[in-house]
Homo-oligomer: A and B are copies of this chain.
Amino acid sequence: MLTKVYNNRATLLISCPEKPGIISIVTNFLLEHKANVVHFDQHTTDPQAGVFFMRIEFDLENFASSFEKLEQDLHVLARDFSLDWQLSSSEKRKRMAIFVSKADHCLMELIWRWKSNEIQVDIPLVISNHPDLKEEVESYGIPFYHIPISKETKEQAEQKTLELLKGKVDFIVLARYMQILSPNFISKYPNKIINIHHSFLPAFVGANPYVRAFNRGVKLIGATAHYVTNDLDEGPIIEQDVQRINHRYTAEGLKTAGRHVERRVLAEAVSWHVEDKVLVHGNKTIVFT
């Protein structure tokens, strides 16, 4: 939500077992490469023996050549100090595929924020198991692929989808996509598939959360954006929010009200993913907002 295009900006994510001096090591490295640190975030699960996480946003002069050199040297540094790392550049926009079914609210929210340059990605394609949103998507100049799925054709359909995506996208957003992805599919995009679940997880795991929320008589409904893993609705949570309701809301009314929480929560989570603000640690996330 804070994004602005900077021509010479890079973001470095690092995680490693906690070790003395790790901040000095990395900041000295950046200093040697004449990086000008803009934002620095850090987290440790335990200062004695935990896992260390770091996000550094920095500017470089002579960006193209400096960035290349820094990236090369980073391989060496990472090897020497056993760092997991990820380096991204403001010059290279992430590529996002959107999967939808029939509901358009999450899709439209993402498209609107993309059009208004708030979420700075490329959208090479939208894929759906229904044809309903074809015209709407194509009106924005985005290719739309209709890949129907039935129990019998699921494997084939996923295969076809993977081929479409191959080499074209960096991550996938399930914008109320009403199909469960297979473990094989998920394994191709680990922590790269973001789903929006229409409840405040872990409440109402599974189907029909609004009907169940209505029956339980809750006073707040919610939505949860999370990375997709093989355990349905159990992946690392990126963002959650709620909306107050009252006895006047029908089950249908909850659904309508919930749409606004869903699109807000999903769009925030996507923004943070795009801006490399989310680090995954086991089944949890560190989000440097």
A241 and B220 form a contact (CB under 8 A) = yes
B219 and A202 form a contact (CB under 8 A) = no
Known: A27-B27, A44-B38, A105-B116. A237 touches B217 (CB 8 A): yes
A246 at the interface (CB under 8 A from B): yes
B203 and A216 form a contact (CB under 8 A) = no
A28 at the interface (CB under 8 A from B): yes
Known: A248-B2, A253-B1. A40 touches B37 (CB 8 A): no
A284 and B249 form a contact (CB under 8 A) = no
Mask for A214-247, Cβ within 8 A of B = 1, else 0?
A: 0011111010000000000000111111100011
Mask for A148-169, Cβ within 8 A of B = 1, else 0?
A: 0000000000000000000000
A260 and B256 form a contact (CB under 8 A) = no
A202 and B204 form a contact (CB under 8 A) = yes
- Number of chain A residues whose Cβ lies closer than 8 Å to a Cβ of chain B: 66
Most B CB contacts (10 A, CB to CB) among A220, A237, A240, A242 go to A220
CB neighbours of A21 from chain B (8 A): 27, 31
CB neighbours of A2 from chain B (8 A): 248-250, 253, 256-257
* Distance A217 CA – B45 CA, assembled complex (angstroms): 13
B36 and A27 form a contact (CB under 8 A) = no
Known: A23-B37, A201-B203, A286-B247. A1 touches B256 (CB 8 A): yes
B203 and A285 form a contact (CB under 8 A) = no
* Supplied contacts A202-B216, A247-B284, 16 more A-B pairs, CB within 8 Å: A1-B253, A2-B250, A20-B36, A21-B27, A24-B24, A24-B31, A37-B42, A37-B47, A38-B44, A38-B47, A41-B42, A43-B248, A108-B112, A217-B237, A218-B237, A220-B240
Using a CB–CB cutoff of 8 Å, the interface residues on chain A facing chain B are 1-2, 4, 20-21, 23-24, 27-28, 30-31, 34, 36-44, 47-48, 59, 104-105, 108, 112, 116, 118, 139, 200-204, 216-220, 222, 236-242, 246-250, 252-253, 256-257, 260, 264, 283-287, 289
